[in-house]
Amino acid sequence: MFDRNLKETVLYASQKFPVITLTGPRQSGKTTLIKMIFKDKAYVSLEDLDNRLFALNDPKSFLNMYPDGAIIDEAQHAPDLFSYIQTRVDTNKVMGEFILTGSQNLLLSEKISQSLAGRTAVLQLLPCQKNECAIDNNNLYDLIFKGFYPAIYDRDIDPNLYYKSYLSTYVERDLKSMINIKNLSKFHLFLKLCAGRIGQLLNISSLGSECGLNNGTVSSWLSILEESYVLFLLKPHHVNFNKRLTKQPKLYFYDTGLASHLLSIDSEKTLKTHYARGSLFENFIILELLKNRFNKGLESNLYFWRDHHGKEIDVLVDKGQSLKAIEIKSAETINESFFKGLKYWHSLDDKNNDLHLVYGGDQVQKRGDIQVYPWFDSYKIE
């Protein structure tokens, strides 16, 4: 059992909202966390076909089985429940009465906006942060290779076996229920090509031509993969947006272990010499920043910046009144060239002075106006 950083946010939300909705990838630990926090609350899973049919055919009677509320796992399978839950919580006015979980964010979001808007806190649980499930492991590339799904650490599972099973058991099953995939081998190729583009600007036409898909299908598959918490798109920053700045997002995965598996990386040793080493390191650091936000119940405020000359900042953290600029380098030794992008960003406007570098080494340094963090301290950048 891992102590998850989202726990305090869930507890706080359960005192302020009648419904808590927790989304995230399959196997990220949603059910374990919720059952640990709400030990005395009834639990029902709509993955169970009998429970699902009951909820679908007679939602009112189904809810009456739980007079004190319940944890309803994979709630998206019975969308008609949501309007009945609305009526129930509006009548009872009990905080934390229902806890809903789901791994298909699109279906949950649609029903929430229709029935539970203003009545539910929507939280997201991604695979573990480094300090949650691997605190004793300071081997950077072993962590990136293994990824951060709790079961890998809890049950000491070989990552190669885990991700092979994860793809076939969860990703393919969920996606088959959401889109009509006629050619599974083509979809596997699509996933692998996406993994090979981590940290790159998204070019839908190029991606489609490599796997024989039209632009509409590529866009549809990307959207479904986002909603299923397989990958996400980091958007360019929008302030002072003009024709000279890129408008394309960058592609990343919600777990570096899954991405490594798709790239046929079979060990930490292979990863260290792989062409995607730097991209996977960048993905890992961005995930740590993203998880930090989600674990506090906040939306992502992460962007990147790139102009038409190719000048780039890996991450801009939008603080509302200011921007925090972060460069990410996988090398273990600091090189003066690492600071070029940050210095250029500062030269554009002297207000651009919140500057940070995260690298693959282990030293905390201050280089002029730039704060340098080792990879294991990246969570300290907020």
Taking residues 237-266, report their average pLDDT: 86
Of all helices (H) and strands (E), which one includes residue 153? helix 150-154
pLDDT of residue 370: 95
Q: How far is CA 322 from CA 325, 350, 352, 369, in A?
A: 10, 12, 8, 16
The answer to whether residues 58 and 180 belong to one domain is no
Q: What CATH number is attached to the domain comprising 116?
A: 3.40.50.300
342 assigned to some structural domain: no
% of the chain beyond a pLDDT of 90: 72
For residue 85, being part of any structural domain is answered with: yes
Domain identity same for 59 and 23 = yes
Residue 170 has pLDDT above 90, yes or no: no
Identify the pLDDT of residue 134. 56
Q: What average pLDDT does range 333-354 have in this prediction?
A: 92
Nearest residue to 98 (alpha-carbon basis) of 17, 29, 31, 28: 17
Residue 118 shares a structural domain with residue 181: no
185 and 95 within one domain:
no
Q: Has residue 308 been placed in a domain?
A: no
Tally the domains of the chain.
2
User: Which is more confident, 133 or 357?
Assistant: 357
Q: Which of 37-41, 245-249, 334-338, 374-378 has the lowest mean pLDDT?
A: 245-249
Same domain, 134 and 120: no
How much is the mean pLDDT over the chain? 90
pLDDT over threshold 80, residue 338:
yes
- Which domain range does residue 184 map to? 130-232+248-286
Closest CA to 51 of 21, 33, 71: 71
Name which of 97-111, 159-173, 319-333, 336-350 the model is least confident about: 97-111
Range 347-354 average pLDDT: 90
Give the residue from 60, 68, 31, 63 showing the smallest Cα distance to 47. 31
Residues 152 and 113 occupy one common structural domain: no
* 85-136 confidence digits (pLDDT tens): 999 999 999 999 999 998 876 667 777 777 888 899 999 999 999 888 655 6
Same domain for 174 and 118?
no
Give pLDDT, residue 109: 74
pTM: 0.93
- Cβ atoms of 230 and 258 within 8 Å: the answer is yes
By percentage, how much of the chain surpasses pLDDT 70?
93
Query: What contacts 173, CB < 8 A, 6 or more positions away?
Result: none
SS3 99: strand
